[in-house]
Amino acid sequence: MGDKADWGDGFVRHLFDVCKEEIEAGNRPMGIFTTTGWKNVVSKFAEKSGDKRTKKQLKNKLDVLKKEYTMFMEFKNCATGLGWDEAKQTIVCSLEWWEEHLARCNNREKGIKCNHVKFRKQGPKFLDDLHIIFGKSHVSGASASCPGDVSSDEASDDDVAEVPKPAKTVNPGKNKRKGSSTIVRDKDEKSPFARMYKNTCLK
């Protein structure tokens, strides 16, 4: 089988499921799968889908999905404050808004065509899963200023070295001060990206 593969919604769903499992297992630090993470993604995808695919094929699909997600979040950033269509998973924009936006976004001199128009009637499929998988790893692209294209090439899912965590040393001779240990809250709740998503999308 070559590097290209056919992708139906069922295969994409299996890919998202195994990716989320590895994220929860801690095998995708800094938004990049570890060697173990990739090994598990490949084997679990084959087990769930019944279709054995290479790491490169899975990575290529993830890169395509990440690029589309980034473009959609850039569009959403441009349209902050407008309505949200839950059924279509996209932003409700008036004809006047689109005319003004496309006038700014398109640039014939530089050969730039606004990619946001593809989300005019329908947002990306599996948007909730896209947010879980790519939301943290590509916040900078999603919050880019408008207009303009955003490329996700610089943040693809190549292997990241697995660095063992250093053992914690405890000095029993010293008493801990009250409040010296910090409780780490869910980063999603503090993330500006997550707050923006909830405030403008989840109505």
92-131 pLDDT, tens per residue?
A: 999 999 999 999 999 888 888 999 999 999 999 999 999 9
**Amino acid at the residue 18:** V
User: Which tokens sit at 9?
Assistant: 């919604």
What's the burial of 72, exposed, middle or buried (CB within 10 Å: 0-12/13-18/19+)?
A: buried
Count of domains for the chain? 1
104 located within any domain:
yes
1 located within any domain:
no
pLDDT tens for 5-59 read 789 999 999 999 999 999 999 999 988 999 999 999 999 999 999 999 999 999 9
Boundaries of domain holding 83: 9-156+190-200
**Where on the phi/psi map is residue 171: left (φ > 0), alpha (ψ -120 to 50), or beta?**
beta
- Please give the mean pLDDT across all residues of the chain: 78
Contact 73, 116 (CB under 8 A): no
> What is the reported pLDDT for 81?
85
Closest CA to 132 of 60, 65, 87: 65
> What is the reported pLDDT for 10?
96
Neighbouring CB atoms inside 10 A of 97's CB total 14
180 located within any domain:
no
34 located within any domain:
yes
Closest CA to 32 of 143, 111, 187, 138: 138
Contact 197, 80 (CB under 8 A): no
Confidence of residue 162 (pLDDT cuts 50, 70, 90): low
- DSSP code string of 90-147: EEE--HHHHHHHHHHH-BTTTTB--GGGGGSS---TTHHHHHHHHTTTTHHHHTPPSS
107 located within any domain:
yes
Contact 105, 116 (CB under 8 A): yes
178 located within any domain:
no
> What is the reported pLDDT for 5?
76
3-state secondary structure of 176: coil
> What is the reported pLDDT for 186?
47
91 located within any domain:
yes
40 located within any domain:
yes
> What is the reported pLDDT for 108?
82
Rg value, the chain, Cα: 20
Closest CA to 116 of 70, 83, 84, 62: 70
Mean pLDDT over residues 147-173, rounded? 52
